[in-house]
Structure 1
Amino acid sequence: MTLIIRGGTVVDATHSYRADVLCVDGRIAQIGPDLAIPEGAQVIDAGDHLVMPGGIDPHTHMELPFMGTVASDDFYSGTAAGLAGGTTSIIDFVIPNPRQSLLDAFHQWRGWAEKAASDYAFHVAVTWWDESVHREMGTLVHEHGVASFKHFMAYKGAIMADDEILVNSFRRAMDLGALPTVHAENGELVFQLQRELLAQGIRGPEGHPLSRPPAVEGEAANRAMRIAEVIGVPLYIVHVSARQALEAIARARGEGQRVFAEVLAGHLLIDDSVYHDSDFTRAAAHVMSPPFRPREHQDALWQGLQAGHIHTTATDHCCFCAPQKAAGRDDFSKIPNGCGGVEDRMSLLWHYGVTTGRLTPGEFVQVTSTNAARIFNLYPRKGAVEVGADADLVVWDPNATRTISARTHHQNVDFNIYEGRTVQGIARHTITRGQWAWCDGDLRAQRGAGRYLPRKPFPPYFEANRKRKEQAGARD
């Protein structure tokens, strides 16, 4: 298929210029002014719009079995919703049960993902440890293109990784050139606080943030970074929500440690007052971990994004409908953790980031696409508007507005945590692998059109980290 985008302003992480973009057989074939239109090509008139790399959401949970139920968005509905909002790739999570083979879980998730409408990659969680896990991590890296491993420091009694698992897995990741990532919350503290609050009779959604105060995130983030520092491995910290965690990240980076951080759109925009809503359904719809924080933390997170201590934006998209959330009506610790947002992240970041002056258009591209591609070794295939890159593009109208609502979104969930917000900046057209998937309100997503994205280990920052550790050892 041949498609040409005419007359737009190309915006990538470093440049902005007027040009046409020609896409042939799923790749960008030519970029330049006044390109000839090939016979039979589909034409998109970009006019006064921007042409940017499609968004990459590095943190989603489609079809996830969790807390006794399964997330309501599967790999088709979730990726299709992403395309409607300008997101053309996701990195989802394979989460083995304790004692389950990592390879068996990986193949299970690959099967579920065959219905995806956009491209996808996987992080694989390490939820337990023995020699077979050590061995299978190598198989996943070398034979299946997995280049990052996830560690939940929360959820005691289920998938929590204790310090022994962290040390063993971080060392193995270092040997393999794979990037470890962590969900930073002190699981033991959360468990104890949940028990105490329930004993005090606090059973509603308001107990959720009380059981996961900012300090439990700050402690876990600092602990994970110090373990990584000793081992010499780079580290990626998902969904940073608390000032205490951000301060620890900034300190470690100031000391030269290679730490990457992610923030969710929700943690930039929503505060903890949502848990005090008198309507259980509305309050429970916001239950996710880490929880939404007091407003002071939102200000700190925006500053961290502007300062470069936070590198990527994500959604942790993991939807549960009201009947599923109702499992915790009498016990907040049983409310399935998760919220949506894969369809809305790009517009939210443009509206609250670019139109307010917090981010430039180029910085917007960095934090919604390019940085994720670079950190997780997908660049320049993804996250770039350049010849040879995959034709994953969004034609962006920076002035148009839309009002977010569960009545009109494409996510398979009955609630939207951004309900009623009117945002400026929308995807007019979304192209995935050169195919027109979203056309000004017309969703053309194709079931199964997405492809798995194998990734190579040893990205450049890994080599830099090895050299830094060797130099430190030589000084000692």
Structure 2
Amino acid sequence: MSIIIRGGTVVNADRAFKADVLCFGDKIVAVGENLDAPASATVIDASGQYVMPGGIDPHTHMNLPFMGTVTADDFFTGTAAGLAGGTTTIIDFVIPSPQQSLMEAYHQWRGWAQKAAGDYTFHVAITWWDESVHRDMGTLVRDHGVNSFKHFMAYKNAIMADDETLVKSFRRCLELGAIPTVHAENGELVYQLQQDLIRQGLTGPSSHPLSRPPAVEAEAANRAIAIADVLHTPVYIVHVSCQESLEAITRARANGQRVYGEALAGHLIIDDSVYQSEDFEFAAAHVMSPPFRSKQHQAALWHGLQGGNLHTTATDHCTFCAEQKAAGKNDFSKIPNGCGGVEDRMAVIWDAGVNTGRLTPSEFVKVTSANAAQIFNIYPRKGLIAVGSDADIVVWDPQGTRTISAKTQHNKGGFNVFEGRTVKGIPSTTLAAGKIVWHQGELRAVEGAGRHIDRPAFKPVTAT
């Protein structure tokens, strides 16, 4: 089936230009002005609109078993919500339990993801270490299209990776041509601060940010960057939330180190005042790690995106309903960590970024798709409007508006951290693999239509 998008302005990370875009099957087959198209082609009128690569969210958690429960969104509801917001590909996380085989966990997640409506691929977390982990990392890179491994420096007594695990895994990543990614928070400090606060009777959600101050994140970011520097390994720091972590990334990059930083849409928009609410349900709904920060840190994150020291925007989409969050009613450390956002990321970043002059449309494409595609080695298949690229396309109406609300969102969880925000700039049409999956407010997501995307290693991999 052919689809022709006519009359729009194509926006890639390097430039914007007037052009039609012709898609056949799941690929873009022509880009240019006044293109000929088959008489049977579906025509999408993009006059006055931008035609951009579908968004890539490099940090989501669908169907995640975590803190004694499982996220509200599975791979269908989560990816369908993403399509409604212009995100056509997610990078989710396989998170083995301690002592669980990496391969067993990987196949478990692949099974859950069979119902995805949009394309997906995986980071695999290293939560423990022995020779089987070393071996399985090689198998995942060589045979299963995995080229990134996640390390949680937080969550003591659960999935936290100690320094020995970090060093051995980073070294193995370098051997394999894979990139280590890091959740940077000092897990021991977090644990001790949590216990201190609970002993003082400070058990509500307002204690959550107190147990995870910026210094806790900055220490771990500096440590991960130092380990990567010694081992000559690139490193990607997920959900950078504070000025101090950004400064660590900026210093390392100025010294020639290959360090990448990710900002969450929530951290760019929402400040830490949400934790002061007297309404437990409201405050608990915002509990995620790292927590939302002050406006000073928000400003720093925007500067990081503008200056090129933060490279991607993500959501850490990890939804829990009010009943699940209530597990921490009497102990904030038991509130399941996570918020939504996969449906709203593109619109809130456009509204707060492009509409304010912080970002150009091409810079928006960089931080919502192209940079993630390049860092995780799926460019130019993803993150680009060009002949041969996947027909993952969002037609963006810069004049369109939407008021974000949990009542109208497509993801589960019953809460939206951007509730009530009216955004200007929304997708009018989304194409995924050459099929119209969102059009003028109608979601046409199909369960199981998403494909697993193999991500090649950054160098040839032998059977080591």
Q: Same fold (TM over 0.5)?
A: yes
Counterpart of 2:248? Answer: 248
- 3-state DSSP of counterpart to 1:201: coil
- 3-state DSSP of counterpart to 2:115: coil
Q: 2:176·2:459 contact (CA, 8 Å) conserved in 1?
A: no
User: Could you tell me which amino acid in structure 2 is paired with residue 239 of structure 1?
Assistant: H
Q: 1:377·1:459 contact (CA, 8 Å) conserved in 2?
A: no
Counterpart of 1:467? Answer: none
Aligned pairs for 1:297-308 (under 5 A) are: 297-308=297-308
Root-mean-square deviation over aligned CA pairs = 1.0
| Residue 260, structure 1, aligned to residue 243, structure 2 | no
Separation in 1, partners of 2:251, 2:138: 32
User: Could you tell me which amino acid in structure 2 is paired with residue 364 of structure 1?
Assistant: F
Counterpart of 2:82? Answer: 82
Separation in 2, partners of 1:32, 1:309: 33
User: Could you tell me which amino acid in structure 2 is paired with residue 373 of structure 1?
Assistant: A
User: Could you tell me which amino acid in structure 2 is paired with residue 244 of structure 1?
Assistant: E
- 3-state DSSP of counterpart to 1:293: coil
Q: 1:321·1:415 contact (CA, 8 Å) conserved in 2?
A: yes
1:249-277: CA deviation from partner (whole Å, max 9, x where unpaired): 11111111000000001001111110110
Separation in 2, partners of 1:341, 1:107: 26
Counterpart of 1:221? Answer: 221
Residue 459 of structure 1 and its aligned partner are, at CA, apart by 6.5
Counterpart of 2:121? Answer: 121
Q: 1:6·1:19 contact (CA, 8 Å) conserved in 2?
A: yes
Aligned pairs for 1:337-356 (under 5 A) are: 337-356=337-356
Counterpart of 1:108? Answer: 108
Aligned pairs for 1:332-371 (under 5 A) are: 332-371=332-371
Counterpart of 1:281? Answer: 281
Separation in 1, partners of 2:2, 2:289: 43
- 3-state DSSP of counterpart to 2:134: helix
Counterpart of 1:11? Answer: 11
User: Could you tell me which amino acid in structure 2 is paired with residue 195 of structure 1?
Assistant: Q
Counterpart of 1:464? Answer: none
Counterpart of 1:474? Answer: none
1:424-450: CA deviation from partner (whole Å, max 9, x where unpaired): 100000000100000010000011000
Counterpart of 1:318? Answer: 318
- 3-state DSSP of counterpart to 2:58: strand
| Residue 140, structure 1, aligned to residue 140, structure 2 | yes
Counterpart of 1:293? Answer: 293
Aligned pairs for 1:169-188 (under 5 A) are: 169-188=169-188
Separation in 1, partners of 2:163, 2:331: 29
Counterpart of 1:466? Answer: none
Separation in 2, partners of 1:301, 1:47: 33
User: Could you tell me which amino acid in structure 2 is paired with residue 279 of structure 1?
Assistant: D
Aligned pairs for 1:181-220 (under 5 A) are: 181-220=181-220
Counterpart of 1:428? Answer: 428
| Residue 403, structure 1, aligned to residue 394, structure 2 | no
Residue 22 of structure 1 and its aligned partner are, at CA, apart by 0.4
Counterpart of 1:25? Answer: 25
Q: Which moved more, 1:180-189 or 1:12-21?
A: 12-21
Counterpart of 1:465? Answer: none
Give me the TM-score of the superposition, normalised by structure 1: 0.96
- 3-state DSSP of counterpart to 2:59: strand
Separation in 1, partners of 2:68, 2:38: 53
Separation in 2, partners of 1:278, 1:434: 47
Separation in 2, partners of 1:204, 1:459: 48
Long gaps (5+) in structure 1: 461-476
User: Could you tell me which amino acid in structure 1 is paired with residue 428 of structure 2?
Assistant: R
Moved over 4 A (4+): none
Give me the TM-score of the superposition, normalised by structure 2: 0.99
Separation in 2, partners of 1:459, 1:400: 44
User: Could you tell me which amino acid in structure 2 is paired with residue 229 of structure 1?
Assistant: D
